[in-house]
Structure 1
C-alpha cells in the first residue's frame, strides 16, 4: 500500500502501524489530532481518517483493476458487435477503377447478357455490368452523391446497385447478379409459345404485387437525404416486362436498372428525365415532350399489369400478305374486354386454363386501366396502386385456398 507523504511545518509524530489488507480485525479508532499547517489554511485529521483513507485507497485500486478488466472485455464485445452490425448495414457505394471493370470482363470479351451487359466476378461477387452513356455532363462529386443515395436504397423487389465506374462519356453500373429470367421471356417462350412458367393466377398476382411495392418504394421512399429535401423518390424510366426479373428460386419479381436514369444524367429539374422510350410503354405526354415523370412510370406499370394478365405483348404488329399490317395494343384490347359481356374471361391468358377468380381479374384489369389513363393528373399514385394490388392478391390467395389449388411450385427458368 502506498501512503501519501505531506510536507508540513509542524506535524506531531505518530506511530506507524501494519495495515495488511488480509487483516480482518477492526480498524483502530483512536482520535489523536494531527495538525497540518499550510500557507493558506489549517487542516485537521485523525488517525482513524488515515485508516479510512488507506482502506479507500485499496478499494479504489481494486475497483480500477476490475474496471480495466470490464473495459477490455467490453471493448472486445463492442468490436464484435460493431463488426456484426456492419454486416447488416447498407454498403458504401463502390467507385470502381475502369481498369478493374475491364479486367473483370476480360476487356469486355466475356459473353454478353445483352448488347451492353456482361456477367462477371468483381471483388469476389457475382455481378452484372451495364454500360450506359451520359446524357449530360456530371461532375464526380455530384455522381458520388447520387450514387450514395441510390446504393442506400434497399427493397426486396429491387436488384441492388453495388457501384459504378466512369470512362469518358460512358458509365458502367455494377448490379448484383440474380438468377432468373425476364418477365417478358417467362410470359412469351419463343421456343414453346404454349408454355409459360407463370401458369397460375396466384403466381401472376404475386409478381404484380412485388412490382407495385417496388415502384412505390422508388417513387415515395428512396433517395432519403436528397437535394430535393422532403421530396423523396426517383423516376425509374425503364419499367417494362423485359426490365423485370423473375427469380428462379421462387418466382418473385425484382425491378432491374434502378438508379440508371439518375446516374446517367437523364434527370433534370430534380426528378424528371429525358430519354428515348420503349414503344408500347410510353405515356401520351411522354411521346410529346420526351420528359419522364413518376406519372409516366405509373403508365408503364399499367401496361405491365395488362401484359401479365393477358400474356400478350404491350404492342404488336400483324402483317398481311398484301403488305398491310394491323397494330394491336394490349391497352386497347383490355378496354374492350371490360365493356363486353364475358370479355374478361376471353381476354385473360388462355394458358391459365380458365382457373382464376373472374371478379378479381376484372378489378385487376381496371386498376391497370386507371394507370394508363390519357391524363397524367388522373392517374393514381403508386402508393394507392400498391395497396389495391395487395388487396386483390390476398383475395386471390383466399380463392386458391377455397379451390384447393396447390400454389407451392418448384420451377426452373432454363430454356425449354
Structure 2
C-alpha cells in the first residue's frame, strides 16, 4: 500500500522534470501560451486555428492539427507523383541517322524478322530495341513529328510495346520499339516444323491472349490519343507478341500508321487517256499505305488490297477503328481455330485448290443450318483447335466465337466498339477461370510404389 501511494508522486516528479527539459530544449510553448498568443495577435496567420492540439491525460503530448496534416499529405502526394512522372520515359527521342547506322552496322546486321518491313534488333542509347524501316507516305515536318511522337510516347499500357523514338532520313522513317522477348502469335499457333505442336495448348492461355489483345486495342482507340481517335491498322497475328511463361499478349507497331501517314487517307482515282489506262491522282493529304496493292476491277476502277484475310470489305486504303475491329475479330477466330485467315485446300475431286476463310468456317460452326444445342456444340468442337484436346468450356467458346463474328460483320455500322468487346471478353475470361479452377487436377494426394 505504501508503494501504491508513492507512485502518483513519482509520476508527477518525472513529468515535471520532463516538462522542464522540453521547455529548455524545444521552442514549442505550452498549450496555454500558444492559445493566449493566438488570441492576442490578430494579425497572425494562425489566428483562426491552433497549430497544435493538446491531448490531456497523465502525460502531455502534442499532435499536428488537421490543416497542417492535410497540407503535408498534399505535399507528399505531389512529390510522389512528380517523382513517378520523372521516372517515366516521357521525353521523345528523335534519333540522328548516324545513330541508326551505327546500331545496325550500316544496315548490314542480321534482320530481326522475315516481314516485308526491314527490321534489326540492336542496342540504341543503352536499351535493347528493334528498329523498323518504313517508307513515308507523305512528307512530315519536325514539329509535326515531335507532336505525334509526344502523343504516342506518353501512351502507357502493359499490352502495348513501347515506341521509344524515330528517325527520318530521306523518304524513310526508322521506328525504334522496345525489344520484347517472345514469339509472335502466328508462329505460336502454327509451327511449320511440327504442325501438331503448339505452346498454346490450354484454353486459359488463349483466353489470356484474347483478353490482353482486346484491352490493348481498346486503349489505343479510346485512351491513348486523349481527344484524338487513333487507329492501329496493323492488327494481325504476326503483330502480336506472346510472352512466356504467363502467355501475355503485347501489340506491336502502335503509332506506325500515324507516323508514316497512313491514317488520313482518301485517294482519288480517275480514269483518263482511254479505257485501258488508269491515272492515279492522290490527294495531298494522303497516299496509299505500303502494304496495299492496286488491282483492276471489272468496272475499270482501281481498288486497294490489304493484308489478305484481315481486310474489311469496305477497306479502300482508309484505315479506321472499324477496320481495326474487323481485323481483331479475325485474330480471335484464328486464335480459337488455330487456322490461318485464308487457307488453300486441294480438292481431289475437282483437281484444283479451294480457298477457305476462317470467317466462313466459323459462321458454319456456330450458325450453320441452326439445329439443336447439341448439334451446335458438336460442330463447334470439330471447329475449335483440336490441339486443345477437347478441353475447353463449350459455352464460353461459343460466346467468344459469336463476339468475333460480330466484329467481322460486312456492315461496319453493325460492328461493336472495342470498349464493348473488351468488357465482354473480360467477363468470359472470369468464366473461364472458374471453369479452370473446377477442373483443376487434384494435388492433395500421395502415392506409394512399395509392394503391398
The C-alpha deviation readout for 1:342-374, integer Å capped at 9, x for no partner, is 211111000000000001110110000000000
1:93 aligns with 2:92: yes
Which residue pairs with 1:279 in the alignment?
A: 308
* Offset at residue 292 of structure 1 (A): 1.3
Distance 1:292 1:81 in 2: 40
Uncovered stretches (5+) of structure 2, i.e. residues with no partner? 1-23, 25-75, 267-284, 293-305, 369-374, 443-452
* Offset at residue 312 of structure 1 (A): 0.4
Is the 2:312–2:323 Cα contact (8 Å) retained in structure 1? yes
Distance 2:96 2:238 in 1: 29
TM-score normalised over the length of structure 2 = 0.68
| CA distance 1:235–1:86, shift in 2 (3 Å) | closer
1:385 aligns with 2:417: no
Distance 1:272 1:391 in 2: 40
Distance 1:223 1:405 in 2: 45
* Offset at residue 267 of structure 1 (A): 2.3
Distance 1:114 1:308 in 2: 21
The C-alpha deviation readout for 1:14-73, integer Å capped at 9, x for no partner, is xxxxxxxxxx9xxxxxxxxxxxxxxxxxxxxxxxxxxxxxxxxxxxxxxxxxxxxxxxxx
Which residue pairs with 1:327 in the alignment?
A: 355
* Offset at residue 144 of structure 1 (A): 1.0
Give 3-state SS (helix, strand or coil) of 2:164's partner.
strand
Alignment of 1:132-147 (within 5 A): 132-147=134-149
1:150 aligns with 2:152: yes
Is the 1:272–1:292 Cα contact (8 Å) retained in structure 2? no
Count of residue pairs the alignment pairs up: 323
* Offset at residue 266 of structure 1 (A): 1.2
C-alpha RMSD over aligned residues: 2.4
Uncovered stretches (5+) of structure 1, i.e. residues with no partner? 1-23, 25-76, 225-229, 407-416
Which residue pairs with 1:213 in the alignment?
A: 215
Which residue pairs with 1:308 in the alignment?
A: 335
Distance 2:287 2:222 in 1: 17
Give 3-state SS (helix, strand or coil) of 1:131's partner.
strand
Q: Which has the larger radius of gyration?
A: 1
Distance 1:137 1:106 in 2: 27
Which residue pairs with 1:369 in the alignment?
A: 405
| CA distance 1:397–1:180, shift in 2 (3 Å) | same
**Further displaced range: 380-389 or 318-327:** 318-327
Is the 2:333–2:404 Cα contact (8 Å) retained in structure 1? yes
Distance 2:153 2:110 in 1: 27
1:250 aligns with 2:246: yes
Give 3-state SS (helix, strand or coil) of 1:144's partner.
helix
**Further displaced range: 99-108 or 111-120:** 111-120
1:176 to 165, 175, 178: 178
Alignment of 1:331-410 (within 5 A): 331-340=359-368, 341=375, 342-405=378-441
* Offset at residue 93 of structure 1 (A): 1.2
- Per chain length, whose mean CA-contact separation is higher, i.e. which structure has more relative contact order (CA < 8 Å, sep 6+)? 1
* Offset at residue 320 of structure 1 (A): 5.1
